[in-house]
Amino acid sequence: MKQRALPVFLAFLLLTSCSANTSGEPTPTANAPQSKPVPVPSTPSPPPEPQELSLMATGDVLLHPQLLAEAETGDGHDFAPLLAGLEPYVQDADVALCNLETPIGTAPYSGYPMFSVPAQIVTDLAKLGYDGCTTATNHTVDKGTAGVNRTLDTLEQQDLFATGSYRTAKEAAEPPIMTVDGVKFGIIASTYSLNGMRADADWQVDTGVGAAKLIQRAKQAAKDGAEIVVAAIHDGAEYSSKPTEAQRRLGRALAESGAFDFIYMHHTHSVLPIEKHAGTWIVYGLGNSVAKHATPTILNREGISIKATFTRDPKEDWGLSELAWVPHQLSESPVRWCQVATADDCLPAADAKASLARTTQTVNAFDAFDDGLVPWEVD
């Protein structure tokens, strides 16, 4: 569009104004139109880095024949009722890890001594809110390489992190790191044994509970970017309330190394003490998460779950700032996960009270409460 000519009077005013402006630039009059500022597109700020993250760790997921029978639906299995009591705790943590004791198989399924369980257990753990599972146990190769691969395929299909067993040498060489809200967790898993069997390849399962090897793996995970490093060790004597001497030496050596931020163990199918040593928390035995053993002892019906809260300090280093625990007992039939810390109609009141007293005494055998272990309470 062409510009219209200025009236003579207005041109005179502009000329006068220009001559009075020492900068040589014309000064706009009060009635002159002002140009509007051009909006600058805003760049969205990156989300703030988390300053606190919590990890839930639970014990063995061990599906004995009674649990399979109770979960049958006619056209499959439904383990949701068995696991339902865990849900508020899983949801209360930023990341939840199980220990998947047994390989995923195909029908007909089997129990001890050579386990094979349906894939539905992984589906139901994922629905509950679990983020991953460790898979290095004494039953990992019960169904050979096919079982190892099927288990990992199933976990992958549910978008669950897994470490402890591997499908390929390349997979075994990858850093055992899961990323949560941008923070990298290194999970160092291993089992004391494969029940006398051998994996088809040395890299297939993380085996061995020697301190030197585990510490080296932890340091390598840190070099690979892990900001928090946790040990998840399958070891101990079954149906005991005390760690073995070898177990305690291992836990303390890992703590003294400074390579781990937190250490926990499973396999004993019973609760063991919690200890703070060299500034690092060690859980010697989580007990079972869900199981139904033929061996008639209350110890294999009890377990604990823990919530480890990690905090980032001003130097950007992470450390465990609080450890919380909740005890449970598995009901008789149908089997259900029942917390015993507060009043609940999942178990007879007398059973829950006795279980709470027994588990509390075991957990505190090494003065964990004096060192800061707290109850895990959820709304």
Strands 318-330 and 337-339: antiparallel
* CA 90, 264, 337, 153 torsion-angle sign: positive
Output the tens digit of pLDDT for each of the chain's 379 residues. 434 344 433 343 333 444 444 444 444 444 555 555 666 666 676 666 779 999 999 999 999 999 999 999 999 999 999 999 999 999 999 999 999 999 999 999 999 999 999 999 999 999 999 999 999 999 999 999 999 999 999 999 999 999 999 999 999 999 999 999 999 999 999 999 999 999 999 999 999 999 999 999 999 999 999 999 999 999 999 999 999 999 999 999 999 999 999 999 999 999 999 999 999 999 999 999 999 999 999 999 999 999 999 999 988 899 999 999 999 999 999 999 999 999 788 999 999 999 999 999 999 999 999 999 999 999 8
Q: Which residue has the tokens 């006068």?
A: 16
Contact yes or no for 189/166 (Cβ under 8 A): no
Which domains does the chain show, CATH number per domain? 52-375 (3.60.21.10)
Q: What is the torsion angle, in degrees rounded to the nearest 10, for the CA atoms of residue 10, residue 15, residue 17 and residue 20?
A: -160
User: What is the model's pLDDT at position 8?
Assistant: 38
Question: Can you read off the two tokens belonging to residue 343?
Answer: 């009043």
Quick one: how far is CA 32 from the chain centroid?
66
Amino acid identity, residue 323?
Answer: L
> Which residues pair with residue 295 across a beta bridge?
none
Residues 6+ apart with CB under 8 A from 374: 322, 323, 324, 325
The torsion angles phi and psi of 3, rounded to 5 degrees, stand at -85, 145
Compute the radius of gyration of the chain from its Cα atoms: 30
Distance CA 176, CA 189 (A): 9
Contact yes or no for 191/206 (Cβ under 8 A): yes
User: What is the model's pLDDT at position 3?
Assistant: 40
Please write the tens of the pLDDT for every residue from 147-201. Answer: 999 999 999 999 999 999 999 999 999 999 999 999 999 999 999 999 999 999 9
What three-state secondary structure class fits 326?
Answer: strand
CA proximity to 134, closest of 182, 86, 98, 181: 98
The predicted model scores a pTM of: 0.87
Beta strands in 138-286 (DSSP E): 161-163, 177-180, 183-191, 228-234, 262-266, 274-277, 280-283
Across the chain, how many H-helices and E-strands are there? Answer: 10, 15
Q: How far is CA 132 from CA 128, 210, 254, 292, in A?
A: 11, 25, 23, 23
Quick one: how far is CA 208 from the chain centroid?
22
Q: Please state at what angle helix 120-128 crosses helix 144-157, rounded to 10 degrees.
A: 30
Quick one: how far is CA 185 from the chain centroid?
9
